[in-house]
């Protein structure tokens, strides 16, 4: 037993039950909690994954009994995109900040290999944003708009045959990141007997592929029975509608067909009421809690480990945040120093190389200069010689010229005689 465990056991053993001799007042804690929660309002974020036109928006309208005024998605998008819309809803005095995230273009690409990636990235991005807020020095978590996904409604195509590989791959990638509730969309298109077979085939395929879907909690006495029976009902086969028809004195969401009407809220027609009951009325808080305590915790653990933080060292001794930080800091500084040294060496090397290069250029230039200079001197010498010769020739010419004129003069005089 480690020292900490021994200490903890001692503390536990020292716990004593005491009787109060009068009313103190901490029995109002639950009410304080309720009023605080009501004051702050609740946040709930739903992710709807399903192929285009599978009835995602209609089901959301039906679930929250409103019109979110969504527009149909195009079928020709090259990649899957996620679109989030946030709404403020109020029922009695309880405010709900609801975010519905929709997959746009899911299942429309020929190559569906990367379809789940956008979804995984989106979920991780919300976890990361929360983690960053948590790590801030000046945190404002009480007013922070938490966008982490609390539940993922996975819309299964009502083929009657089983799951598509896209469904299995995507759900497998997501099952450690989000609470998945698979639902059979447009369940009015499957016959009653086929639906039972379809449901068990889906569950069988999910189990065979190790996909863990969200289980309604059975650890609380008050919801044990209902949640147990609802877990056995999965996946819920749902129908949605935006059309209303008067049934008795109540307007009911209904899908009208030539052969009859499907009432969304009629439990004999589909599992819509069961889904609403489980999702909104019974287990919303459990999903919020599981998102924080299980999925986010896992993400946080992985991310902090990735950043180099750890709770225990190699000898299993506890390591404080500060120790890890200081160790990280010193290795970082060492790395920096090493990088700086490397850069300095590199710089010196480069300077030397450049110097040698410049010297070589200078030498070449000098050589060229000397060569030109020599050429120039030769030229000058030649010119000098040519000039000298010219001057000699000129002198010779002048001498001869004067000689000639002297001869002609003496010759002229002797002729006269």
Ligand X SMILES: Nc1nc2c(ncn2[C@@H]2O[C@H](COP(=O)(O)OP(=O)(O)OP(=O)(O)O)[C@@H](O)[C@H]2O)c(=O)[nH]1
Interacting residue ranges for ligand X, rule: CB under 6 A: 50, 52-58, 72-73, 186, 188-189, 239-240, 255
Q: Is 70 in the site for Mg ion (CB under 5 A)?
A: yes
Pairing of strands 94-104, 151-156: unpaired
Provide the b/e sequence for 148-176 (b: ≥16 CB within 10 Å): bbbbbbbbbbbeeeebeebbbbbbbbbbe
Q: Which of Mg ion, ligand X, none interacts with 54 (beta carbon under 5 to 8 A by kind)?
A: ligand X
**What is the SS3 assignment for 91?**
strand
> What separation in angstroms does the CA of 240 have from each of 77, 262, 300?
25, 9, 37
Residue span 7-46 as binding mask against Mg ion, x where in contact by CB under 5 A, dash where not: ----------------------------------------
Q: How far is the CB of 262 from Mg ion (least distance, A)?
A: 20
Q: Is 52 in the site for Mg ion (CB under 5 A)?
A: no
Q: How far is the CB of 112 from ligand X (least distance, A)?
A: 15
What is the Cβ-side half-sphere exposure of residue 225, based on CA atoms within 13 angstroms? 1
Cβ proximity to Mg ion, 191 vs 242, nearer residue: 242
Q: What is the DSSP string of 260-283?
A: EEEETT-TTT-SHHHHHIIIIIIS
Cβ proximity to Mg ion, 152 vs 234, nearer residue: 152
Provide the b/e sequence for 204-235 (b: ≥16 CB within 10 Å): eebeeeebebbbbbeeeeebeebbeebeeebb
Q: How far is the CB of 50 from Mg ion (least distance, A)?
A: 9
Taking CB under 5 A as the binding criterion, the range among 57-65, 93-101, 240-248, 367-375 that sits at the site for Mg ion is 57-65
Report 267-296 residues binding Mg ion (CB under 5 A).
none
Q: Which residue is nearest to ligand X (CB)?
A: 55
* CB contact set of 393 (below 8 Å; sequence gap of 6+): none
Q: How far is the CB of 239 from ligand X (least distance, A)?
A: 4
Q: Where are the beta strands (DSSP E) in 194-348?
A: 236-237, 244-247, 250-257, 260-263
Cβ proximity to ligand X, 60 vs 127, nearer residue: 60
Q: Which of 45, 49, 57, 178 binds Mg ion (CB under 5 A)?
A: 57
CA–CA gap between residue 26 and residue 332 (Å, rounded): 50
CA–CA gap between residue 112 and residue 79 (Å, rounded): 9
Cβ proximity to ligand X, 235 vs 240, nearer residue: 240
Q: How far is the CB of 115 from ligand X (least distance, A)?
A: 14
Q: Is 58 in the site for Mg ion (CB under 5 A)?
A: no
Q: Which of Mg ion, ligand X, none interacts with 107 (beta carbon under 5 to 8 A by kind)?
A: none
Site residues, Mg ion (CB under 5 A): 56-57, 70
């Amino acid at each position: 037993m480690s020292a900490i465990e021994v200490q903890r056991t001692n503390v536990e053993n020292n716990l004593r039950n005491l009787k109060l001799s009068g009313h103190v007042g901490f029995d109002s804690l639950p009410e304080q909690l309720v009023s605080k929660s009501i004051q702050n309002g609740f946040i709930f974020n739903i992710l709807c994954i399903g192929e285009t036109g599978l009835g995602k928006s209609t089901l959301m309208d039906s679930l929250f009994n409103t019109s979110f005024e969504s527009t149909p998605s195009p079928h020709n998008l090259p990649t899957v995109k996620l679109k989030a819309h946030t709404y403020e809803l109020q029922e009695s005095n309880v405010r709900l900040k609801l975010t519905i995230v929709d997959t746009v273009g899911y299942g429309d690409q020929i190559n569906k290999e990367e379809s789940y990636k956008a979804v995984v990235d989106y979920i991780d991005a919300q976890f990361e944003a929360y983690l960053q807020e948590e790590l801030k020095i000046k945190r404002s978590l009480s007013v922070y708009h938490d966008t982490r996904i609390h539940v993922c409604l996975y819309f299964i195509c009502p083929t009657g045959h089983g799951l598509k590989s896209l469904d299995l791959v995507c759900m497998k990638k997501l099952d450690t990141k989000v609470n998945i509730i698979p639902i059979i969309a447009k369940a009015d298109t499957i016959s009653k007997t086929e639906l039972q077979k379809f449901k068990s085939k889906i569950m069988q395929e999910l189990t065979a592929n190790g996909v863990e879907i969200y289980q309604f909690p059975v650890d609380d006495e008050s919801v044990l029975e209902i949640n147990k029976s609802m877990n056995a009902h999965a996946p819920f086969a749902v129908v949605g509608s935006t059309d209303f028809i008067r049934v008795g004195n109540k307007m009911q969401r209904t899908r009208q067909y030539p052969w009859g009407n499907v009432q969304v809220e009629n439990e004999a027609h589909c599992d819509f009421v069961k889904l609403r009951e489980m999702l909104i009325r019974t287990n919303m808080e459990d999903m919020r809690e599981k998102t924080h305590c299980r999925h986010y915790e896992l993400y946080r653990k992985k991310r902090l480990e990735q950043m180099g933080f750890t709770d225990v060292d190699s000898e299993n001794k506890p390591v404080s945040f500060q120790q890890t930080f200081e160790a990280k800091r010193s290795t970082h500084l060492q790395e920096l120093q090493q990088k700086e040294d490397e850069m300095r060496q590199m710089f010196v090397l480069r300077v030397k190389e450049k110097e040698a290069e410049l010297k070589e250029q200078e030498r070449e230039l000098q050589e060229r200069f000397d060569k030109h200079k020599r050429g120039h001197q030769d030229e000058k010498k030649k010119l000098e010689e040519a000039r000298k010769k010219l001057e000699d020739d000129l002198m010779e010419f002048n001498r001869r010229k004067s000689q000639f004129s002297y001869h002609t003069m003496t010759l002229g005089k002797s002729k006269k005689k």
